[in-house]
């Protein structure tokens, strides 16, 4: 834990303590945006914690905080992580559902991560390169899990276009597709978690979730940067997908 600098008796700078932020000099050829990004990374306490605690990124703390609040990653749970790269969410899930079986006397869970790109192996997780939009992806996921899922989670974001409204529509479409897969693979009582961007175009998705889950909450965990428009939808208590209409004879 970083200690605060001791105050100097009898002296005051008017700010209470020294400025401990890391400053990055702008090297020749480095864009100002790159400099600001690097400064933010170096001074981000979640980035520091992620390195210290062995997580693959600061996003791991978002799912930790959401699970602390809603308690869906329980020992024995079967979890699907959509768009799992770089793997921080899988790391958290492996530990909390006891996928390695190292918590004596507790049920052993399973974690399956899927992504369009290759992801380095994670102990206790089964990682597959897959486009979850492909036909039959839900059946493949259930085969890897050995049954239905208790949790489907997604921290995916569509590639940025630089246009806020367009990016919002893209991520809503992505979340809607993830929700449809969740409806196909979740066990009744299951949970769906996904990142969305605030922007007002997600009403249809919210309606879909409210029809299929007992509770739907929209949350911004503390680890989510205050200047980001991202939030997370947490849908709990899956009602079970209604049987599809049978064709008429």
User: Which positions are annotated as active-site residues?
Assistant: 195
Q: Is 139 annotated for ligand binding?
A: no
Map tokens 């005051």 to a residue: 12
Cβ contacts of residue 69 below 8 Å, gap of 6+? 219, 221
Torsions phi, psi for 54 (to 5 deg):
85, 20
Torsions phi, psi for 223 (to 5 deg):
-75, -15
- Structural Rg of the chain based on CA atoms: 21
Task: Give the separation between CA 97 and CA 133, rounded to whole angstroms.
Answer: 26
Task: Give the separation between CA 86 and CA 123, rounded to whole angstroms.
Answer: 14
Q: Is 115 annotated for ligand binding?
A: yes
Q: Which of 122, 124, 115 is nearest to 96 (CA)?
A: 124
Q: Is 83 annotated for ligand binding?
A: no
Q: Is 29 annotated for ligand binding?
A: no
Q: Is 167 annotated for ligand binding?
A: no
Handedness of CA 229, 234, 239, 241 (dihedral sign): positive
Q: Which of 126, 197, 135 is nearest to 166 (CA)?
A: 197
Q: How many CB atoms are closer than 10 A to CB 215?
A: 12
Q: Which residues are annotated as a binding site for S-adenosyl-L-methionine?
A: 87, 89, 115, 131, 155
Q: Which residues are annotated as a binding site?
A: 87, 89, 115, 131, 155
């Amino acid at each position: 834990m970083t200690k605060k600098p001791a105050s100097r008796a009898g002296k005051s700078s008017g700010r209470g303590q020294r400025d401990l932020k890391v400053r990055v000099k702008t090297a020749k050829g480095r864009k100002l945006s790159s400099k600001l990004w690097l400064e933010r990374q170096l001074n981000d306490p979640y980035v520091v914690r992620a390195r210290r605690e062995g997580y693959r990124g600061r996003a791991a703390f978002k799912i930790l905080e959401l699970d602390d609040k809603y308690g869906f990653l329980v020992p024995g749970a079967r979890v699907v992580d959509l768009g799992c790269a770089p793997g921080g969410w899988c790391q958290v899930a492996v530990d909390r559902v006891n996928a390695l079986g190292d918590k004596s006397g507790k049920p052993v869970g399973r974690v399956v991560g899927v992504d369009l790109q290759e992801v380095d192996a994670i102990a206790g997780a089964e990682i597959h390169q897959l486009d979850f939009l492909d036909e039959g992806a839900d059946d493949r996921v259930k085969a890897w899990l050995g049954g239905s899922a208790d949790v489907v989670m997604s921290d995916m974001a569509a590639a940025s276009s630089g246009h806020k409204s367009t990016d919002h529509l893209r991520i809503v479409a992505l979340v809607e597709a993830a929700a449809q897969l969740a409806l196909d693979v979740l066990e009744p009582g299951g949970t769906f978690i996904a990142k969305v961007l605030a922007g007002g175009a997600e009403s249809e998705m919210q309606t879909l979730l409210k029809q299929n889950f007992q509770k739907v909450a929209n949350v911004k965990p503390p680890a989510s940067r205050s200047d980001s428009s991202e939030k997370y939808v947490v849908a709990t208590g899956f009602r079970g997908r209604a049987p599809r209409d049978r064709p008429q004879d």
